Amino acid sequence: MARFHNRKKKVFVKPIVKKQQQQQPNVDHITGNKIPKSFVFSRGKLPGPLRQLQMDLRKLMLPYTALKLKEKKRNNLKDFLNVAGPMGVTHFLILSKTETSPVLRVAKTPQGPTLTFKIHEYSLAVDIAQSQLRPRCPQDLFKNPPLIVLSGFAAADEQLRLTTTMFKNIFPDIDINTVKLSSCQRIVLLNYNKDTKLIDFRHYSIRLQPVGVSRRIRKFVQNHQVPDLRNLQDVSDFVTKAGYGSESEADEEAATVTLTSDLSRVNRASTKSAVKLQEIGPRMTLQLTKIEGGLCSGEVMFSEYGNGGNKKKPGNEGNEKEDSENDGQMEDSDEDDEADNEEDMEESGED
C-alpha cells in the first residue's frame, strides 16, 4: 500500500544581505600618518570643458576622493565642510569661472589656508590621449595615489614655501623602505618658472621596460601568445627581425634603474629597466594670485595684485571683482537645507 507524505517541504530562502561599502582607512598602517582625502567640486555654473576638467581632477586624486560626489545648486561651502569632518576629508579643490579665466582654489580644511590659482591654459585627459599614437591607461592605474614631484620651488618667498607645503600634504606620504614598487604607477609634476611666475601642472603614468629586450619579445612574454613562425627560417629571425631587434628603448644609463623586486614577467628583480613617463592628463598652467589665512576667507597673506589685495594692476579689476563675488557666494549658508544637503553628499561620498 502506497504511503503518502503530506509533509511540507521547507523552502530555503537566501537572506538578502546588504553589502557594506568598504570604508577607506584614515591612517596609514605603515607610516602611522593621517591619510589626506579630498573633495573636488565647483562653485557657480561651469561650461562643459571645465566640468570635464573637474572629473579629470577627481580621477587624478583617486583613490582618496569622492569620484561620484553629487552637487546641487543650494549646496554651499558650509555644507561641504559639515560632511568633510566625519568623512576625514582634509582638502578642498574648488573650480570656478570668472569673466576672464577659470580659477582653482586649493584649501585645507577646516580652517585654511586657501590658495587661489588662475588657470591660464588647460588640456583635458581626453585631448592628451587623442594626441598620442598609443595612449596608455591600465585598469588598475588609479588604485594607488600618485607620487608628487615639485621643481623650482626652492625659493625664499613665503608664498612658495606655503605652496610647497600645501601640495606635499595633499597626497599621502610614502616610506621608501616599505613602499611597493608596483604601487608607484602615477606621478604629478609641478614645475615653477621664476621668470614667468607660472606653474606647469602635469600628470604622468609610470611604466618600466627591460633594457636590451626587443618589443616583440616583450609583448610575447607579457601576453603568453604563441608566435607566428610560418614565414621564418629560424627562431633567431623572430628575435632579430628588422624593426624589432633594435627597439630596446632608452638604454641610456641615466634612464635606467635596477629593480629590487619583481614587478612583472619581464621586469624582474636585479635587472635593469628603463623608466618611461607617459602623460595622461589633465594639463594646466597655473598662476598663484592669492593666499588667504582661512577657508576661502580671512586675512589675505599674499596677493599678486598688491599687498592685501588693495592694489590693482591695470586690466585685473574684473578678476578681483569676480573673485570677491565667488568668495561671498561660497561663504553664504542656508541652514534650512543643511540636513538634506549633508545626507545627499554623504551618499555620494561613500560611492
Phi and psi dihedrals of 240, rounded to 5?
Answer: -105, 20
The answer to whether residues 64 and 172 touch, using CB atoms and an 8 Å cutoff, is: yes
Burial class (CB in 10 A: 0-12, 13-18, 19+), 328: exposed
Give me the residues paired with residue 207 across strands: 276
Share of residues in the chain with pLDDT > 90 (%): 45
Q: State pLDDT tens for residues 24-41.
A: 677 766 666 789 999 999
The per-residue b/e assignment along 34-71, b for 16 or more CB within 10 angstroms, e otherwise, is ebbbbbbbbbbebeeebebbbebbbbbbbebbbeebeb
Q: State pLDDT tens for residues 260-293.
A: 555 555 555 656 777 788 999 999 999 999 999 9
Q: 324 is written with which cell numbers?
A: 570677491
* Residues 240, 242: Cα–Cα separation, whole Å: 6
DSSP state of 23: P
* Residues 55, 281: Cα–Cα separation, whole Å: 11
Provide the whole-model pTM: 0.73
Q: 171 is written with which cell numbers?
A: 597626497
Q: Domains of the chain: which residue ranges?
A: 37-207+281-301
The radius of gyration of the chain from alpha carbons, rounded to an integer in Å, stands at 26
The answer to whether residues 94 and 108 touch, using CB atoms and an 8 Å cutoff, is: no
Question: Which pLDDT band, with edges at 50, 70 and 90, does 331 fall under?
Answer: very low
Q: Side chain identity at 194, as an amino acid letter?
A: K
Which of 43, 42, 111, 124 has its CA nearest to residue 81? 111
- 271 against 187, higher pLDDT: 187
The answer to whether residues 206 and 214 touch, using CB atoms and an 8 Å cutoff, is: no
- 164 against 341, higher pLDDT: 164
How many residues are listed for the chain in this entry?
351
Q: 149 is written with which cell numbers?
A: 614631484
Question: Which pLDDT band, with edges at 50, 70 and 90, does 138 fall under?
Answer: confident
CATH of domain 37-207+281-301: 3.40.50.10480
DSSP state string for 232-260: -SSHHHHHS-TTTTT------GGGEEE-S
* Residues 151, 210: Cα–Cα separation, whole Å: 28
Q: Which of 8-22, 240-254, 303-317 has the highest mean pLDDT?
A: 303-317
Q: 288 is written with which cell numbers?
A: 598663484
Burial class (CB in 10 A: 0-12, 13-18, 19+), 124: middle
DSSP state of 282: -
Mean pLDDT of all residues in the chain?
76
Placement of cell 537572506 in the chain: 15
Q: Which of 31-40, 172-181, 185-194, 203-212 has the highest mean pLDDT?
A: 185-194
Phi and psi dihedrals of 285, rounded to 5?
Answer: -115, 115
pLDDT at 167: 94
* Residues 180, 170: Cα–Cα separation, whole Å: 20
pLDDT at 255: 66
pLDDT at 269: 63
* Residues 150, 191: Cα–Cα separation, whole Å: 6
Question: Which pLDDT band, with edges at 50, 70 and 90, does 256 fall under?
Answer: low
Residue 171 has pLDDT above 70, yes or no: yes
pLDDT at 71: 86
* Residues 37, 28: Cα–Cα separation, whole Å: 12
Torsion of CA 182, 133, 62, 257, to 10 degrees: 30
Residue 300 has pLDDT above 90, yes or no: yes
pLDDT at 301: 93
What does the pLDDT average to over 212-216? 60
- C-alpha pair distances (Å), 56 with each of 29, 84, 156, 317: 29, 21, 33, 30
3-class DSSP assignment, residue 21: coil
Question: Which pLDDT band, with edges at 50, 70 and 90, does 18 fall under?
Answer: very low
